[in-house]
Amino acid sequence: MDMSLEQGPSLLEEKQASDARKVSPSASEEDVADSPVEARSKMTRKESLSAYFTILAAGFGLISDGYQNNIMTMSNVVFKQLYPKEYTSTVSTRVSNALLVGAVIGQVIVGLICDRLGRKVALVATTLLIVVGAILGTAAHGAHGSPNGLFWFLTIARGITGVGVGGEYPASSTSASEAANEKSIGSRGPVFIMVTNFVLSFGGPLAVSVFLIAISAAGENHLETVWRVCFGIGILLPLTVFFFRLRMLSSKLYRKGAIKHRVPYVLVIRRYWKALIGTCGAWFLYDFVTFPNGVFSGAIISSVIHNSDIKQTAEWQLLLGTIALPGVFVGALLCNRLGRRNTMILGFSGYLVFGLIIGLGYDKIINIVPLFVIFYGLMQSFGNLGPGNMLGLVSAESYATPIRGTCYGLSAAIGKTGAAVGTQAFTPIQNNLGKKWTFIIAAICGVTGVLVTYFFVPDMTGVDLAEEDAKFMQYLAENGWEGEVGEDDDKVLIVESYVGEDGQDRK
């Protein structure tokens, strides 16, 4: 596939007639892709509108994820009151973990679909899965009113929902990062955070608010109605974006850079192994701490207030979720100023500080409920500020477009594996070591997170995603890979030398 400069015109003719671009080790400057600035300036009105709608749809789609992630917080309290004998810690863990197991499967599979079949296919599929799972969960019943049958039905329904929820992570996040990159590189980080982690975090207070409205309207004597209404609201949220996702366009980065056949996974691992250790490892540690502390926070608060009043527990839970939200905004403000890596380190440090404060002073702090909730909320707020905000961002920025969905999905799946392990270990830790150890272990994870982030997580603050795409194509060419790149009629040759905005070759 070696070509001289004189072959440029004939090659272009051949390229215009072909269905995909080729990676080649040499070509003329005329064949090189537009610079990132030129590409953005050439966006059609339809492409520009599609970028905006993609960003907004990512936000509305992920808010349903946040809602589904947190719906079990109060449902666990309700089920424990409705079925005190049947809803054991084992059953509670199984129902809560069903979403996580489904999410791991969804993140890996949909991450691959994102890259191989396209962002749009992945987004539509995840929306449908969440709707189907939410419908089944709302209608869940056991045979002849059997509580065990009900909880097995819920386990399956939550698993299906989890596949959709997990798939939303790579599908929405990769689409949002590419669309934000097309609109403005400088604001890519803050915009990405606001349409991903903010809405995911907002899902917690939203779920508790819906619960409070439902229980105030139905009363505590109709708890079955309350939890079914809460599950039913989860059907409506993903439907709000379904129409827009059917009409969206894939980003220019994806249309120019997609590799749909003969993906060189071995070369991908050789190039990105260090970044994968960073994003996978840090995400595992973050979800190991934050997910069980989110799912079981209602039970923790219920045990602290002693009287186990459901409505009062929900009110404290709402305060806890609200205190955790400001960290999202602070992280969005700092991600460009401090850089992605340093902001993550700052957030993990918050786990160390507040985990030790709560853990070492647990027996005294639980006697002052407002102080306990504030410290608990601040620990979660630092989690949002750092790894909560940055992990999705660095996982979307660290990898080239052709394999962004796959690597993002793998990183998120390892994170959800950490969540499943943390949820499974949460009750045994409390029972065998004491409740304070859940916070001390959070502090230990914070220290480990700082080290993993410092040594393995790349910092792509202010770097155009198209630059990494060009370097990746050059890397493939240098390592002898030949294949088709791209998915539309915009035929441009990616070459070993990338011509930058100043007209100079970038090796």
C-alpha–C-alpha distance, residues 160 and 155, integer Å = 9
pLDDT of residue 228: 93
pLDDT at 106 > cutoff 70: yes
281 vs 82: which has the higher pLDDT: 281
pLDDT at 28 > cutoff 60: no
C-alpha–C-alpha distance, residues 292 and 73, integer Å = 10
Instruction: Please report which confidence band the pLDDT of residue 494 belongs to, taking 50, 70 and 90 as the band edges.
Output: very low
Greatest mean pLDDT among 227-241, 301-315, 348-362 lies in: 348-362
Q: Which domain holds residue 77?
A: 40-251+260-467
Mean pLDDT of 59-66: 80
Distance of CA 466 to the CA centre of its chain: 22
pLDDT at 4 > cutoff 60: no
pLDDT of residue 18: 43
Instruction: Indicate whether 141 belongs to any domain.
Output: yes
Select from 411, 423, 349 the least CA-distant residue to 386: 349
Instruction: Please report which confidence band the pLDDT of residue 338 belongs to, taking 50, 70 and 90 as the band edges.
Output: very high
Instruction: Indicate whether 4 belongs to any domain.
Output: no
Select from 85, 87, 74, 89 the least CA-distant residue to 429: 89
Instruction: Indicate whether 133 belongs to any domain.
Output: yes
Average predicted confidence (pLDDT) for the chain: 81
Nearest 5 degrees, angle CA 17-CA 22-CA 26? 115
pLDDT at 419 > cutoff 70: yes
Domain CATH number, residue 71: 1.20.1250.20
Instruction: Please report which confidence band the pLDDT of residue 182 belongs to, taking 50, 70 and 90 as the band edges.
Output: confident
Instruction: Indicate whether 281 belongs to any domain.
Output: yes
Instruction: Indicate whether 360 belongs to any domain.
Output: yes
Select from 374, 500, 357, 332 the least CA-distant residue to 436: 357
Select from 316, 305, 344 the least CA-distant residue to 446: 344
Instruction: Please report which confidence band the pLDDT of residue 296 belongs to, taking 50, 70 and 90 as the band edges.
Output: low
C-alpha–C-alpha distance, residues 161 and 127, integer Å = 10
pLDDT of residue 391: 93
pLDDT at 271 > cutoff 90: yes
Instruction: Please report which confidence band the pLDDT of residue 435 belongs to, taking 50, 70 and 90 as the band edges.
Output: confident
314 vs 398: which has the higher pLDDT: 398
Instruction: Indicate whether 15 belongs to any domain.
Output: no
pLDDT at 432 > cutoff 60: yes
pLDDT of residue 5: 33
C-alpha–C-alpha distance, residues 447 and 442, integer Å = 9
Reported as type and span, the H/E element at residue 353 is helix 340-360
pLDDT of residue 109: 94
pLDDT of residue 27: 40
pLDDT of residue 304: 66
Instruction: Please report which confidence band the pLDDT of residue 299 belongs to, taking 50, 70 and 90 as the band edges.
Output: low
**Amino acid at position 74, single letter:** M
Instruction: Indicate whether 8 belongs to any domain.
Output: no
Question: Coil, helix or strand for 505?
Answer: strand
Q: Which residues contact 235 (CB under 8 A, 6 or more apart)?
A: 131, 134, 135, 138
pLDDT at 289 > cutoff 50: yes
Instruction: Please report which confidence band the pLDDT of residue 280 belongs to, taking 50, 70 and 90 as the band edges.
Output: very high
Rg of the chain taking only CA atoms, in angstroms: 24
Number of domains into which the chain is organized: 1
**Residues of the chain above pLDDT 90, percent:** 31
Model-level pTM? 0.79
C-alpha–C-alpha distance, residues 423 and 61, integer Å = 25
Q: Which residues contact 426 (CB under 8 A, 6 or more apart)?
A: 93, 292, 296, 438
Q: What share of the chain is helix, strand, coil (3-state, %, to 5)?
A: 80, 0, 20
pLDDT at 281 > cutoff 90: yes
Q: How many CA atoms lie within 13 A of 220 on its CB side?
A: 9
Least confident of 136-150, 265-279, 334-348: 136-150
Instruction: Please report which confidence band the pLDDT of residue 461 belongs to, taking 50, 70 and 90 as the band edges.
Output: confident
pLDDT of residue 50: 67
162 vs 37: which has the higher pLDDT: 162
Structure tokens at 326: 């400001």
Question: In this predicted model, what pLDDT tens digit does every residue of 130-143 receive, in sequence order?
Answer: 999 999 999 998 88
